């Protein structure tokens, strides 16, 4: 079995814990209110704005034997740069104050997830970062596009309020294929273990973010 498939198998319980969060069960059916959607976007802003800095931190610490992975990170940075602004635009399209979100502090669950991944990169193994990639992009292709369509109908909001969800549903489908190819090139057992452990913890922490959202219908 290749490493990407093994990673999905080894993290199945943690992934299910995330997907069992009430918000993620209700969103694809359009059964959440505007307050919940805005709260989701606010926390998404607070972790997505760290994507490029985390990529940079990871790339800077990779050993020479993983130069091919650093090259992939450089391309990934180009694709991910500025996506947090999409989220702020969606918030504004909902009629909410995007600048207030920019100035706000993240929820504890969000801060813990981001801080954990920085710590894994700095103090353990920089390849750990890809454990979070597995969680975020895998969740996007599972939930994002379906939720965007359902919520657009149930909340009566314009298409401009769902650019983050809509784009990441399709964009992350491409990314996950690239990600699988990169993971299958890893050979070192410690690198693989670092990715798996970080993915397991990140599933739990990401689930905590969704469980911290106010649930309105």
Residue range 49-92, pLDDT digits in tens:
999 999 999 999 999 999 999 999 999 898 888 889 999 999 99
Q: Which domain holds residue 78?
A: 3-212
Judge whether 217 lies within some domain: no
How confident is the model at residue 174, as a pLDDT? 67
Give every CB contact of residue 122 below 8 A, 6+ residues apart in sequence.
57, 61
Closest CA to 98 of 107, 110, 89: 89
Measured between alpha carbons, how far is 212 from 162 in angstroms, rounded to an integer?
A: 21
Task: Rounding to the nearest 10 degrees, give the CA dihedral for residues 182, 73, 147, 212.
Answer: 110
Query: Which pLDDT band, with edges at 50, 70 and 90, does 34 fall under?
Result: very high
How many separate domains does the chain show?
Answer: 1
Residue 139 within a domain: yes
Indicate whether 149 belongs to any domain.
yes
User: Is residue 129 a part of any domain in this protein?
Assistant: yes
Do the domain assignments include residue 12?
A: yes
Q: What is the pTM of this model?
A: 0.93
**pLDDT value at 201 more than 90:** yes
The one-character DSSP state at 97 is: -
Identify whether 41 is part of a domain. yes
Q: Would 40 be classed as within a structural domain?
A: yes
Residue 163: give its domain's CATH number.
Answer: 1.20.910.10
* Encoded tokens for 18: 């995330």
Interval 183-196 mean pLDDT: 98
The answer to whether residue 32 sits within a structural domain is: yes
């Amino acid at each position: 079995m290749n490493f990407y498939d093994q990673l999905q198998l080894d993290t199945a319980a943690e992934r299910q814990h995330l997907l069992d969060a009430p918000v993620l069960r209700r969103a694809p059916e359009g059964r959440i209110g505007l307050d919940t959607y805005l709260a989701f976007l606010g926390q998404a802003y607070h972790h997505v704005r760290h994507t490029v800095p985390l990529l940079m931190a990871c790339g800077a610490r990779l050993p020479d034997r993983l130069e091919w992975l650093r090259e992939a990170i450089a391309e990934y940075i180009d694709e991910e740069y500025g996506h947090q602004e999409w989220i702020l635009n969606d918030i504004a399209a909902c009629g909410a104050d995007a600048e207030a979100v920019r100035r706000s502090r993240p929820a504890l669950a969000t801060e813990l997830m981001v801080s954990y991944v920085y710590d894994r990169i700095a103090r353990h193994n920089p390849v750990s970062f890809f454990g979070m990639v597995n969680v975020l992009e895998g969740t996007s292709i599972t939930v994002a596009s379906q939720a965007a369509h359902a919520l657009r109908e149930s909340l009566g909001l314009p298409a401009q309020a769902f650019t983050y969800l809509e784009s990441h549903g399709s964009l992350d489908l491409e990314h996950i294929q690239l990600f699988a190819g990169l993971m299958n090139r890893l050979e070192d057992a410690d690198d693989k273990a670092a990715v798996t452990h970080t993915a397991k913890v990140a599933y739990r922490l990401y689930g905590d973010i969704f469980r911290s959202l106010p649930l309105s219908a």
